Amino acid sequence: MVVVMASSLTVTNTLSSPKLKTLYKKLSIPIPTPLSSRLLYNPKTLSSLSLSLNLKHRSFAARADSQNGAEPPSHYDFDLFTIGAGSGGVRASRFAANFGASVAVCELPFSPISSETTGGVGGTCVLRGCVPKKLMVYASHYSHEFEESRGFGWKYDVEPKHDWSTLMANKNAELQRLTGIYKNVLKNAGVTLIEGRGKIVDPHTIDVDGKLYSARHILISVGGRPFIPEIPGSEYVIDSDAALDLPSKPEKIAIVGGGYIALEFAGIFNGLTTEVHVFIRQKKVLRGFDEEIRDFVAEQISLRGIEFHTEESPQAIIKSSDGSLSLKTNKGTAEGFSHVMFATGRRPNTKNLGLETVGVKMTKNGAIEVDEYSRTSVPSIWAVGDVTDRVNLTPVALMEGGALAKTLFQNEPTKPDYRAIPSAVFSQPPIGQVGLTEEQAIREYGDVDIFMANFRPLKATLSGLPDRVLMKLVVCAKTNKVLGLHMCGEDSPEIVQGFAVAVKAGLTKADFDATVGIHPTAGEEFVTMRTPTRKIRQTAEGKTDSEVKATAGV
């Protein structure tokens, strides 16, 4: 038995080098140089070894195939079998195939709305998340832009009208194009695509609609599904999947939830002239975001005509004889809705995958538990993306998938790096952020300086609309390092993506100050804020004290 220690990933136990050399000769495997070099599975050089690495400083046996009854390598149909062809699964599979592994992916047939029997190559982001959502955000922007244009001299003899069916048809055609592109990406990489529902039978076997496949490694990347609480009348509720593919535009909609999905759809439907009401259980939207950003975005959204109902929990949905819906909450009943949408979170899509049978550990909400290399409690089974409920963002799933492929097939153990991950909320106005919130920075560093600008953007000076922009830097007072960067206003996600490089690189406020701005832009504010809005210092008693100065504002 060869034991591989993950802490150094070198062969160090139970066999001396001469014995190991003898084993290599018997198996006709080239001897690595040096012998103690990293020993992860590589299909080109170690196809006769079934390695079971534990990358949390535990050791597993690496069984050599020989005449003692062990199975030959041909026992496995594939080196990697991936269940779920979303962003993380496609990335891991494609990279693994490029590294020389034999790879298969199974995925359900395409449909804009996911179910137990439908899915599609591309996954949530491409088919019923980021991409169609952003297309609808674009569509909804025009009403605001028509309004802005009047201050710039544009006149309309007839008010522009929106045709919902055109938007849906063009959106769905684009989704069909994208799922075809993803299929071609897999095909060109040499990945076998199998249509059907995959279920794990044992640590190396997958059942796809009655046909069995074996694999050295199994990857689970099935993502998540919208969660709707079971309350009376919940059968009348739509989720985010359905909201992206409605046959007609809602006239009046109640959106339950205060997270980013709720705010994004509120902006979409409001921009498309639907009457929008948002019901949230808390006092504020976007729990976990910077507090000032939370307050600012709620104020700006309200100015666009969206009505918030705070500290209201849904209790029932009632359908009237005329087909309209009423939403009963702890504070009363709101009536006359054509649609009620729940944006009450997402849950890992782990039901009926056979995980419990093979011993894969999961959390209470169904997320798969993994180590820092994305390995589950079963050594041959791995998981990436939203199904693990770590950081549920598409680019993070891509990072995890790429890291896993390197770990398994490149002799390069790679941990995903979750530091300074930028993110965006495509609300209207949108939010971009990277790094720590002010509250997180105070807890972690104690002494911080806050730089902030709250101003009227140039476009609003002629449009006459009440649009404003909030920009904020969170800086460590001791090291001058920029810990967090936050923005709410037009083009925030585009601007923050660029500045995320600076925050990730650990640049200081002095580096920002030394950068020449581009004028006239909103982004230049991040490199021209010289005076702290407030200085927060930890007192001897462990409390925080704030020295407040005037906030920059125009």
Question: What is the rounded distance in angstroms from the CA atom of residue 257 to the CA atom of residue 310?
Answer: 10
Is residue 325 a contact partner of residue 240, using CB atoms and an 8 Å limit? no
Question: What is the rounded distance in angstroms from the CA atom of residue 300 to the CA atom of residue 297?
Answer: 5
Query: What 8-state DSSP symbol labels residue 196?
Result: S
Instruction: Please enumerate, by residue number, every residue annotated as part of a binding site.
Output: 134, 198, 257-264, 345, 386
- Of 110, 105, 73, the closest CA to residue 92 belongs to 105
**260-271 vs 291-303: helix axis angle to the nearest 10?**
20
Query: Quick check: is 519 catalytic?
Result: yes
Question: What is the rounded distance in angstroms from the CA atom of residue 283 to the CA atom of residue 305?
Answer: 19
Distances (CA, A) of 410 to 98, 219, 232, 263: 10, 16, 52, 42
Question: What is the rounded distance in angstroms from the CA atom of residue 426 to the CA atom of residue 530?
Answer: 29
Question: What is the rounded distance in angstroms from the CA atom of residue 277 to the CA atom of residue 256?
Answer: 8
Q: How many CB atoms lie within 10 A of CB 116?
A: 11
Strand order through the sheet with 59-64: 10-13, 2-5, 59-64, 49-50
Residue 546 has φ and ψ, to the nearest 5°, of -120, 125
- H or E element, residue 154: none
Instruction: Please enumerate, by residue number, every residue annotated as part of a binding site for FAD.
Output: 134, 198, 386
The number of residues making up the chain comes to: 554
Question: What is the rounded distance in angstroms from the CA atom of residue 111 to the CA atom of residue 336?
Answer: 30
Instruction: Please enumerate, by residue number, every residue annotated as part of a binding site for NAD(+).
Output: 257-264, 345
Tokens representing residue 385 in the block:
């993306």
32-57: b (≥16 Cβ within 10 Å) or e: beeeeeebbbbbeebbbbbbbbebee
Q: Which residues pair with residue 193 across a beta bridge? A: 105
Is residue 483 a contact partner of residue 436, using CB atoms and an 8 Å limit? yes
Question: What is the rounded distance in angstroms from the CA atom of residue 288 to the CA atom of residue 302?
Answer: 20
Tokens representing residue 177 in the block:
């194009």
As to burial, measured by CB atoms within 10 angstroms (0-12 exposed, 13-18 middle, 19+ buried), residue 383 is buried
Question: What is the rounded distance in angstroms from the CA atom of residue 55 to the CA atom of residue 481?
Answer: 32
DSSP assignments along 426-471, one per residue: --SS-EEEEE--HHHHHHHHS-EEEEEEEE--HHHHHH-----EEE
Beta strands 423-425; 314-319: pairing state: unpaired
Tell me, what amino acid is at 205?
A: T
Tokens representing residue 202 in the block:
């044992």
Residues annotated as catalytic (active site), given as ranges? 519
